[in-house]
Amino acid sequence: MKARMRAGATAIALLSGHAAAHASEPGGVQAVPPSDPGNPPAPRGVAGAPQAGPQAGPQAGPPAPFDLATINDIVVTAQRRAEAIQDVPIAISVFESSDRDRRGIRSIQDFANFTPGLTFSSSLDRLSLRGIGRLTNTIGSDPGVAIYNDGFYTASNAEASKTPMFVERVEFLRGPQGTLYGRNSVGGAINVISKRPTEEQAGEWRSSVDNLQLISEGYLSGPIVGGLKARLSAQVTRATGSRYENIARTATSRDEGFVNRFFLEGQLQYDFSDTTQLWLKYSHAEWNDSNPIGAQVSPYVTNDIDGATDNSLTPAAAFGYGVPNPSVTDPRRINSNTLNQSLLSDNHTIVANFTADIGGVALKYVGGYTQYKYQAFADLDYTANQLVVTNFGSAPIPALAPFGLANAFRTYSYNATYVQDYQEDKKYYTNELTLSNATQGRFNWIVGAYQFHEKYFQPVTWFVDGDNSDTLSQRIAAPICVAPGTFAIVPNCPTNPRRAFYDGSGDLRTDGLAGFGQVDYELVDDLKATAGLRYSWDKKRGFESYRVIQWQPAGAATYCTLTPGADAAVVGLGACGAAAAAQDLTRFLLNLPGVGAATRELEDSWSGFSWRLGLDWKANNDTLVFGSYSRGLKAGGFNLGSYADSPVVDKEIVDAFEVGVKSRPLSSLMLNVTGFYYDYKNAQIPIVVVRPGSTLTTTNFFNINKSRSWGIEVESAWNVTRSLEISANYSFNDTKILRAPRRFDDEGMPGNILEDITGNRLPAASKHKVAISGLYDIEVGANDHIFLAASYAYRSDAYYSVFESPISRAPGWDQVDARITYTRPDDGITVILYARNLFDTLGYDGAFSTGAGTNYRQVYSYTFPRQAGVEVQFRF
């Protein structure tokens, strides 16, 4: 029997990880966006994930001299055991810290540019793999790509964006990983492996500065006493520039797109013996960022005070505005009197790993706890317009006094500063215990049990800012409540001191349990079969509150009749000609008795099996052929905070069929090809619909009955000479909705036209992605090296809703990066010159409409502009 695992050096051959950086986001973790229309954002960063095993990973060092003549294997833990990447029958992209340093790969956007099938929207903090991912951040929903940091599950993307000083490697597992990873890995899983305490005293300091940010970070590591080792790391990020120039700088606004952060991480590791180890990690983060969702690039509509009144709650913000929209001609310039701000506080994460070998059985425990509070403010009106004064025809007309109409046409005002306040207060913990055979052989097995608990509160408010001196603010603060069906005035309507025209919140408790097992058996030499099964149970209990209040110019003056004395009773809104009261439409829209906010409780549970069946053949030492059938499962969910007519969605199921070849046709050439087909059932899609009996809209969750995704992925790395390496990958991903439950109206476009979405693409899925990079090593003297790196990435267009309308289409884009690294290993010094997005191209990672209230304007979110700077590293 031939050994199935070859000992692999942790070196440079990292499949699609062989790529230079792209528009890196400021900071070691990513910026948090304001919300997309109707769907607030989730914070990025706060928790951690899986890990390799008891051994400590290699530590930070210079981009080391290396021999490019032979591509070495990287050891990964995709199947919960250490294996050479070319021997794992799964499509994987791996990015190691040393290669990330040489090539400048920092953020998830960088990873997405060079991982086949992976797309990322930085403004919305959403990942998608092969067309499956997260389409809303609303409480009660879950992502479709699971992230694990040293074994600990998290729904946040921040851990994957920590810099190479903190992280040894990042593994992207493409396709459902429902057996060994389970929770929300219906599209794939991301493993983030931390660097561990070192056997000897070591330390490093790094500082980089460019036109957007200054990052200083460092660590100290080494033994303390006996088998106890420790590692302490910290990072400080300060803004030196901004992504967006704001032409309306005020006391409450400034240039936007900046990061100010602090991150601290401490580790303790105790080796009881060669086979028994306890490892603990604590981390803390603080943010004070600005990251606007993007730029509204359409001209302002200044001649329509109602906006699209049939769907909006407040007057149009740009009415009568005399300042042109600067984003029309330059999308890096905005006009806002509200700072799009993101704040993270009270963030604490603890991760624990314990491993032991008990009589030939490997026991491993992984547990973790995270808590944080997050708040984001967003400019909803996309203008710096403030006080709007208007009249409806003329000033008071004395000649009409005998008829009671002298004040029928009055002058009214409204503050057009509409702001979103989005908050999260989240706590969660997980526990997992696995048992497996300690020594790999012909028959290998692993069994485990998993537990998850989350407590999550998410209030979202849209309010009128200002000093309460305008008519809109005063009326919104003291609304009348309208009865369902009759429009009668209901007494005792609650006041609204914050002047919120939408106020919704969700309170969620989630519990999950799972048991799983997987075996692989070598049927004959070099032919192995794999079978895995997982049972998952999830229960969600939610409470939601919802209130909407409307004040529109079309109804701002109370109707006047020719019968004096009857006017005040016409609708009960006020005296003839006076500014009408704002109407609390909550109960009217929902057809519920009572006054004020509507509340309700939701509870549901989901369970099911996921599995993996696979066969792989080691044709020779350099070729692995594999095929698999996997089922991925994601629990159902709620849409809390909007009192939706369809608030609950069923679980998602993905049946995935995959075949692939991992090969080395030449000793200096790696070529991997993967093909896949997904049968995707019950995709959980948020779609805005018109509430029955009104013209106002709300977001409902729907299960799209059936979709499919298929594609081909090619990854290659070629050592042309001992000093020159070129890597390239290409992915094709074709997605289609095959059956939908009904026709839908595209709320991003004017008019109420029901469309058949059958045949449309799944959101955020680009058909074509290309990445090419090169790395050249120049020896200088005995040990010094200069590395020259350059890369090119291209991504074709994508739609960011289920509607293939022009307003939801993000155009294709490309980008070039370059990097020069000089390293002196003997002195522990490295100096790097870098340029990300060298030609300052616009990269589109989101497209949507502002909606009815601002006349359906086009909004694009963008990747980072050019960053040019220098980094210095010093090791001791």
Q: What is the mean pLDDT of the chain?
A: 85
Give 370-404 pLDDT, tens digit per residue: 999 999 999 998 899 888 776 543 445 566 556 55
Element (H, E) at 109: helix 108-113
Cα-Cα-Cα-Cα dihedral sign, residues 691, 139, 128, 22: positive
Cβ count within 10 A of residue 41: 25
Measured in degrees and rounded to the nearest 5, phi and psi for residue 17 equal -70, -15
Instruction: Please tell me the predicted confidence (pLDDT) of residue 363.
Output: 97
Closest to 430 (Cα-Cα) out of 154, 640, 219, 776:
154
Average pLDDT (796-805) is 93
Task: Return d(Cα 767, Cα 735) in angstroms, integer.
Answer: 8
Per-residue pLDDT band at 136 (split at 50, 70, 90): confident
Give 333-348 pLDDT, tens digit per residue: 999 999 899 999 999 9
Give the N- to C-terminal CA distance of the chain in Å, as an integer: 46
Per-residue pLDDT band at 11 (split at 50, 70, 90): very low
Instruction: Please tell me the predicted confidence (pLDDT) of residue 689.
Output: 80
Instruction: Please tell me the predicted confidence (pLDDT) of residue 581.
Output: 81
Instruction: Please tell me the predicted confidence (pLDDT) of residue 695.
Output: 65
Cβ count within 10 A of residue 383: 27
Task: Return d(Cα 778, Cα 724) in angstroms, integer.
Answer: 9
Domain range list for the chain: 15-875
Closest to 712 (Cα-Cα) out of 699, 692, 730, 738:
730
Residue 31 half-sphere exposure, CB side, CA atoms within 13 Å?
35
Per-residue pLDDT band at 356 (split at 50, 70, 90): very high
Q: Are 506 and 543 in contact (CB under 8 A)?
A: yes
Instruction: Please tell me the predicted confidence (pLDDT) of residue 724.
Output: 94
Q: Are 348 and 284 in contact (CB under 8 A)?
A: yes
Closest to 340 (Cα-Cα) out of 35, 641, 29, 28:
35
Q: Are strands 798-799 and 754-755 parallel, antiparallel or unpaired?
A: unpaired
Q: Are 434 and 447 in contact (CB under 8 A)?
A: yes
Q: Are 204 and 165 in contact (CB under 8 A)?
A: yes
The top-scoring range by mean pLDDT among 75-84, 249-258, 357-366, 562-571 is 357-366
Q: Which residues pair with 430 in a beta bridge?
A: 368, 452
Q: In three state form, how does the secondary structure of 707-728 look?
A: EEEEEEEEEEEEECCCCEEEEE
Q: Are strands 867-875 and 829-836 parallel, antiparallel or unpaired?
A: antiparallel
pTM above 0.75, yes or no: yes
Tally: H helices and E strands in the chain: 4, 48
- Identify residue 220 by its one-letter amino acid code: L
Furthest-apart CA pair in the chain: how many Å? 107
Give 819-858 pLDDT, tens digit per residue: 999 999 999 999 999 999 999 999 998 998 887 666 788 9
Burial (CB < 10 A; 0-12, 13-18, 19+), residue 732, is: middle
Measured in degrees and rounded to the nearest 5, phi and psi for residue 720 equal -60, -45
462-475: buried (b, 16+ CB within 10 Å) or exposed (e) per residue? Answer: bbbbbeeebbbbbb
Average pLDDT (783-802) is 95
Give 587-626 pLDDT, tens digit per residue: 999 999 999 999 999 999 999 999 999 999 999 999 999 9
Q: Are 187 and 145 in contact (CB under 8 A)?
A: yes
Percent of the chain with pLDDT over 70: 84
DSSP state of 77: -
Per-residue pLDDT band at 562 (split at 50, 70, 90): very low
Token output for 470 = 């305008």
Give 637-676 pLDDT, tens digit per residue: 999 998 988 889 999 999 999 999 999 999 899 999 999 9
Task: Return d(Cα 489, Cα 302) in angstroms, integer.
Answer: 34
Q: How far is CA 657 from the centre of its chain?
A: 26
Q: Is 314 helix (H, G, I), strand (E, B) or coil?
A: coil
Instruction: Please tell me the predicted confidence (pLDDT) of residue 405.
Output: 54
Closest to 813 (Cα-Cα) out of 109, 282, 278:
109
356-373: buried (b, 16+ CB within 10 Å) or exposed (e) per residue? Answer: beeeeebbbebbbbbbbb
Token output for 79 = 């199947």
Q: Are 421 and 503 in contact (CB under 8 A)?
A: no
Burial (CB < 10 A; 0-12, 13-18, 19+), residue 200, is: exposed
Q: Are strands 75-76 and 83-84 parallel, antiparallel or unpaired?
A: antiparallel
Q: Is 875 helix (H, G, I), strand (E, B) or coil?
A: strand
Find the angle CA(669)-CA(673)-CA(679) to the nearest 5 degrees. 165
801-818: buried (b, 16+ CB within 10 Å) or exposed (e) per residue? Answer: bbbeeebbbbebbebbbb
Per-residue pLDDT band at 488 (split at 50, 70, 90): confident
Give 514-541 pLDDT, tens digit per residue: 999 999 999 999 999 999 999 999 999 9
CATH number belonging to domain 15-875: 2.40.170.20
